[in-house]
Amino acid sequence: MLRGGRQRVGALLRGLRRGPRGPPDSVRRGVVSCIDPSMGLNEEQKEFQKVAFNFAAREMAPHMAEWDQKELFPVDTMRKAAQLGFGGVYVRTDVGGAGLSRLDTSVIFEALATGCTSTTAYMSIHNMCVWMIDQFGSEEQRHRLCPPLCAMEKFASYCLTEPGSGSDAASLVTSAVRQHDHYILNGSKAFISGGGEADVYVVMCRTGGPGPRGISCVVVEKGTPGLSFGKKEKKVGWNSQPTRAVIFEDCAVPVANRIGDEGQGFLIAMKGLNGGRINVASCSLGAAHASVVLARDHLKVRKQFGEPLANSQYLQFQLAEMAARLVASRLTVRAAAAALQEEREDAVALCAMAKLFATDECFAICNQALQMHGGYGYLKDYAVQQYVRDSRVHQILEGSNEVMRMLISRSLLQE
DSSP readout, 119-141?
HHHHHHHHHHHHHHHHHHS-HHH
In tens, the pLDDT along 333-374 reads 999 999 999 999 999 999 999 999 999 999 999 999 999 999
Tell me, yes or no, whether 132 lies in a domain: yes
The pLDDT value recorded for residue 51 is 97
150 pLDDT tier (thresholds 50, 70, 90): very high
Residue 347 sits in a domain of what CATH number? Answer: 1.20.140.10
The pLDDT value recorded for residue 415 is 74
Q: What's phi and psi for 162, nearest 5 deg?
A: -125, 165
Q: Are residues 297 and 401 part of one domain?
A: yes
In tens, the pLDDT along 220-249 reads 999 999 999 999 999 999 999 999 999 999
Tell me, yes or no, whether 15 lies in a domain: no
* Cβ atoms 161, 190 nearer than 8 A: yes
User: Residues near 4 by Cβ (< 8 Å), separated by ≥ 6?
Assistant: 93, 99
The pLDDT value recorded for residue 379 is 98
User: What's the mean pLDDT in 252-281?
Assistant: 98
**Domain boundary residue, one of 116, 131, 151:** 151
Q: Is the pLDDT of residue 31 over 90?
A: no
What is the DSSP-derived secondary structure letter of residue 415?
-
**Domain boundary residue, one of 133, 151, 169:** 151
The pLDDT value recorded for residue 1 is 31
CA distance 376 to 302: 11
- Angstrom CA distances, 168 to 132, 133, 158, 216, 282, stand at 21, 24, 16, 16, 25
Q: What is the domain extent for residue 209?
A: 156-262
**Domain boundary residue, one of 113, 130, 151:** 151
Q: Are residues 284 and 376 part of one domain?
A: yes
Element (H, E) at 221: strand 215-221
Q: Are residues 236 and 171 part of one domain?
A: yes
Tell me, yes or no, whether 8 lies in a domain: no
10 pLDDT tier (thresholds 50, 70, 90): low
Q: Are residues 242 and 146 part of one domain?
A: no
Residue 175 sits in a domain of what CATH number? Answer: 2.40.110.10
Q: Is the pLDDT of residue 14 over 70?
A: no
Q: Which residues are the active-site residues? A: 398
In tens, the pLDDT along 153-163 reads 999 999 999 99
19 pLDDT tier (thresholds 50, 70, 90): very low
CA distance 78 to 61: 13
Q: Are residues 198 and 309 part of one domain?
A: no
Cβ burial 178-214 (10 Å sphere, 16+ → b, else e): eeeebbbbbbbbbbbbbbbbbbbbbbbbbbeeeebeb
Q: Are residues 383 and 270 part of one domain?
A: yes
User: What's the mean pLDDT in 81-105?
Assistant: 98
The pLDDT value recorded for residue 402 is 97
Tell me, yes or no, whether 123 lies in a domain: yes
Tell me, yes or no, whether 98 lies in a domain: yes
User: What's the mean pLDDT in 144-148?
Assistant: 98
Q: Are residues 327 and 224 part of one domain?
A: no
The pLDDT value recorded for residue 9 is 54
Residue 143 sits in a domain of what CATH number? Answer: 1.10.540.10
Tell me, yes or no, whether 32 lies in a domain: no
Q: Are residues 194 and 272 part of one domain?
A: no
Counting the structural domains of the chain, the total is 3
Task: Give the mean pLDDT of the chain.
Answer: 93
N residues, the chain:
415
Tell me, yes or no, whether 117 lies in a domain: yes
33 pLDDT tier (thresholds 50, 70, 90): confident
Q: Are residues 227 and 96 part of one domain?
A: no
Tell me, yes or no, whether 316 lies in a domain: yes
User: What's the mean pLDDT in 46-58?
Assistant: 97
The pLDDT value recorded for residue 47 is 96
Q: Are residues 104 and 69 part of one domain?
A: yes
Q: Are residues 142 and 95 part of one domain?
A: yes
Q: Are residues 217 and 83 part of one domain?
A: no
The pLDDT value recorded for residue 67 is 98
User: What's the mean pLDDT in 19-46?
Assistant: 67
Q: State percent of the chain over pLDDT 90.
A: 91
